[in-house]
Chain A
Amino acid sequence: MNLQWIFITKGIFILSRILGLGIRRFLTHRFPMAVKNAFVRLGVDKTFFGKEFRGDMDNAFIGVRYGAGFVNRTAGTYFIKDTVWGNASGDVQKATFVAQWVELVGGFRMEILKNIFVGWNIRVKTFVNPKKFAELPPPYLAGYGQSEKNTAFGYNFYLLYGIGKNRN
């Protein structure tokens, strides 16, 4: 679940805040586990184009984000097949830690009705603290995506409501 607010400020900068919460169970995953995480993402966007008509809020943008959140992962079990000496298995302890990442974002948004926007963005994300994910990373982390990759690409399609009165 994600909540997003776009605060429109003067000029071409838009401050973007995103809060999110993820609760998922990966029962059929290779390493069955449950993951809970909550995150906050803060950043700024810079738009490319000027307004073609009064109240024109459509634009392409690039931006940067800083993301952080608590991650709670249950214990997991692994299995190693070995035909020479015999199979092995073991448990990985449950873990609670803080994940931090930075993102570069680029995309396009368009106002389809007053204050209602649709758009997409492409994100390149990298962990600030990748060592936290060295031991059984969750298959999916809300706000980040596949956490086993230190650097990952992602994309979003979205429908959002803009708050702000400055449309000049």
Chain B
Amino acid sequence: MPMNQTTAKGTRFYYVISVAILVFILNACSKSSTCLTPKVVALRGGFYYRDTSGNFLDTLLVNANLYFGVSNNYMQNLKQRKQFYLPLAQNTDSIMLFFQSDSNSIAPETIDSIQVMYTRKPHFISTACGYETFFDISKVLYTTHIIDTLIVAVNAVNNDVNKENLKIVLKK
């Protein structure tokens, strides 16, 4: 093997091995199995009044509560808020909510119940994050002490945070 050929081979071999080691190290450093994606798929809703022309006007609640969870053991305080969001159950096809229009009152005429019925579909996020559940609202039942009308504006409950699923129109 001529000298220049030997030198060229040696240089190339050094180059091949160096880059191979560099690529291996860079790849080893980039391994990650951390879940960085939010996993809570939330039902979103807003509160409205109907004006004399029949148009919906969004409204701030003074101090209301929304109870939810297996034993209604979770509560969201809606103070000066016009929207809410909460998770739906991923192991049943319906949930029951209780809307307390005045947090200082437990009078029955100030409280409404809302039953949301839906279908579920598992959605794969990633290996690190696992699955989440997407929902499709099929029916909503409610009492009408404080609530005038409840409209299902968007049936699909998914990761689209810009859509409002429920419009809750309150009595004046």
Contact = CB atoms under 8 A, between A and B. Distances in A.
Interface of A: 29-31, 52-53, 56, 58, 78-80, 82, 84-88, 90, 92, 108, 110, 112, 118-120, 122, 134-137, 139, 148, 155, 157
Nearest to A92: B122
Given A78-B131, A136-B124, A148-B127, A85 B16 contact: no
Contacts, number: 83
Interface in B54-105: 68-70, 74, 87-92, 95
Given A85-B69, A85-B92, A110-B13, A80 B4 contact: no
B106 interface: no
Q: Which of A29, A79, A87, A88 has the most CB of B within 10 A?
A: A88
Contacts of B70: 84-86
B38 interface: no
B108 interface: no
Given A52-B8, A110-B13, A148 B90 contact: no
Given A108-B19, A120-B16, A86 B5 contact: no
Given A31-B127, A137-B127, 19 more contacts: A30-B127, A31-B130, A53-B5, A53-B8, A78-B122, A78-B130, A84-B68, A84-B69, A84-B70, A84-B87, A110-B9, A110-B12, A120-B19, A120-B23, A136-B124, A137-B124, A148-B126, A148-B127, A155-B27
